[in-house]
Amino acid sequence: MQALVWEDRFSVGIRQFDQHHKILFEMINSLIFAQEDNSDPDVIKNTMEQLRSYTLFHFVAEEAMLKHFGFEGLDEHIAEHGELLQQVIVYQDRVAANDGVTLDEILDFLAGWLLDHTLGMDQEYGPFLSRYSD
C-alpha cells in the first residue's frame, strides 16, 4: 500500500485536530513501512497499540470539544468513532491469535476509514467549530 500523503482537502479547519489527523496519517504510514520492511510481529503489535491509543486520545479530544459547543451530530459522531475503535481491537485480537489476518486487510480498513471519516463526518464540524476556535 502507498503511504498516505496529507492534502489540504483533509483539513477540518481546526488546527488542533488537523495536527491530530496528520499524526494518525503518520502512524498508519509507520504500519505501512513496518509491513514493507517485514518487521517483527512485535513491532507490528506495538505500532498497532500506539495507533489505538493515540486514536482514543484524539477521539476523546474531538468528542469533548463537540460536546462543549453543543454540536448536533455528536451522538452519530461518537458512534462512528466507537465502531472504529472496536474494529481495531478486533484486529489486534486477531493479530495476537495469529489467525491469518493480513496486514494488507488491516491497512486497507484503517486507511479507508481514516480518509472517509476525515473527508466525511469530520468536515461537518469544521464550519461549526471554526466559529469558536482558530
Position with the least CB separation from Fe ion: 122
Note whether 18 binds Fe ion by CB under 5 A: no
Residues 107-126 that bind Fe ion (CB under 5 A): 122
Q: How many residues bind Fe ion (CB under 5 A)?
A: 2
Task: Kindly tell me which of 64 and 90 has the beta carbon lying closer to Fe ion.
Answer: 64
Residues 41-100 that bind Fe ion (CB under 5 A): 62
Task: Kindly tell me which of 18 and 122 has the beta carbon lying closer to Fe ion.
Answer: 122
Distance, in Å, from the CA atom of 54 to the CA atom of 48, rounded to the nearest integer, reads 10
Decide: 1 and 32 in contact? Cβ < 8 Å: yes
Q: Which residues contact residue 88 at a Cβ distance below 8 angstroms, ignoring those fewer than 6 apart?
A: 48, 51, 52, 55, 110
Task: Kindly tell me which of 41 and 127 has the beta carbon lying closer to Fe ion.
Answer: 127
Decide: 91 and 101 in contact? Cβ < 8 Å: yes
Task: Kindly tell me which of 41 and 120 has the beta carbon lying closer to Fe ion.
Answer: 120
Complete DSSP assignment for 37-64:
TT--HHHHHHHHHHHHHHHHHHHHHHHH
User: Per the structure block, which three cell numbers stand in for 88?
Assistant: 481495531
Closest approach of Cβ 104 to Fe ion, in Å?
A: 25
Closest approach of Cβ 66 to Fe ion, in Å?
A: 8
Which of 1, 24, 21 has its CA nearest to residue 9?
Answer: 21
Closest approach of Cβ 14 to Fe ion, in Å?
A: 11
What residues line the site for Fe ion (CB under 5 A)? 62, 122
